[in-house]
Every structure is written in structure tokens, then in C-alpha cells.
């Protein structure tokens, strides 16, 4: 009987954790401290901080949701909406750029980062963002 009660508690806890993680997936989070800047040679090497906003997303060939992020980012870059300014899209393979991913604190795929024209990280998304959220974030830059 005790084993059944423990099993029920574990199942309920797992469900709660799953609901919380799912609610966080794809949510745009502002980075108030700005995170790393282009003072990082790795960020400068990939093109962050060249004077225009950048959408940097990490992916891998084995990542299914990364294809959805690619489609969303392409739609935003082609039609930035109210942002008005050109946006640079950079997609990096996690396996080939593991040191930069570590520096930026990328723990899961897909992860999308938005940088302003000065190379400061302003927003971060784990999971698949919506095009609307990305456009609103770009307008704030």
C-alpha cells in the first residue's frame, strides 16, 4: 500500500514538472543584465555586434524542433513588422560551436538569442518561439 502511495506521489510530481516545463518552452525572456557582449571574440567571429540586431539560434541535425525555429526566424527576418530595421539571422550547429554555446549558457535545443546592434544579449528563448514574440522583441530593440 505504501509503495502505491509513493508511486502516486511520483506520478503527480512528474506531471507538475512536465506542465511547468511545457509552459516555459517557447517563452521569450528578457535578459536585463544584457549577458555577454561582443567583447567575446566568439560572438564577434559569428557576426554579432555589427550594428544591426541579430537572431542567433543554436540547432543540430538531430533536433526536430529546430526546423520549426528555422521557419519562424525566416518569417521574421523576411517580414520584421514594426521593428523596421534589418535583422541578421545566424544559425549555429551546437556540436560545431560548443564553446560559444557553453559561454552563452545554452543547455538545451532549440535555443534562440536576440542581440541588439551593440552586441548585447537582450532576449532568450528555449523552445520554439512565436513569430509575434520575436517581432515584439525586435521592436523593443
pTM of the model: 0.75
Cβ-Cβ contacts under 8 Å for 128 (sequence gap 6 or more): 25, 26, 65, 68, 69, 72, 110
pLDDT given at position 82:
66
Backbone angles phi, psi at 5, to 5 degrees: -65, -40
Is 90 exceeded by the pLDDT of residue 68? yes
Active site residues: 63, 66
pLDDT-above-70 percentage for the chain: 81
Distance CA(111)–CA(102), nearest Å, equals 12
Q: What is the pLDDT of residues 14-50, one digit of tens each?
A: 776 655 555 555 676 676 665 545 457 888 888 888 8
Instruction: Calculate the alpha carbon distances from 43 to 22, 74, 80, 109, 115 in Å.
Output: 29, 21, 23, 19, 10
Cα angle 10-15-19, degrees, rounded to a multiple of 5: 150
DSSP E strands: which ranges in the chain?
28-30, 54-59, 88-93, 111-115, 121-126
Amino acid at each position: 500500500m505504501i509503495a502505491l502511495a509513493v508511486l502516486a506521489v511520483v506520478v503527480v510530481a512528474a506531471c507538475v514538472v512536465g506542465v511547468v516545463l511545457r509552459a516555459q518552452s517557447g517563452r521569450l525572456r528578457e535578459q536585463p543584465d544584457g549577458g555577454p557582449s561582443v567583447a567575446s571574440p566568439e560572438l564577434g567571429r559569428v557576426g554579432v555586434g555589427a550594428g544591426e540586431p541579430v537572431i542567433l539560434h543554436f540547432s543540430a541535425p538531430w533536433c526536430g524542433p529546430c526546423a520549426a525555429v528555422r521557419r519562424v526566424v525566416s518569417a521574421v527576418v523576411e517580414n520584421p513588422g514594426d521593428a523596421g530595421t534589418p535583422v541578421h539571422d545566424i544559425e549555429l550547429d551546437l556540436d560545431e560551436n560548443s564553446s560559444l554555446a557553453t559561454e552563452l549558457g545554452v543547455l538545451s535545443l532549440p535555443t534562440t538569442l536576440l542581440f541588439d546592434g551593440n552586441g548585447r544579449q537582450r532576449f532568450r528563448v528555449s523552445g520554439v518561439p512565436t513569430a509575434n514574440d520575436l517581432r515584439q522583441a525586435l521592436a523593443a530593440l
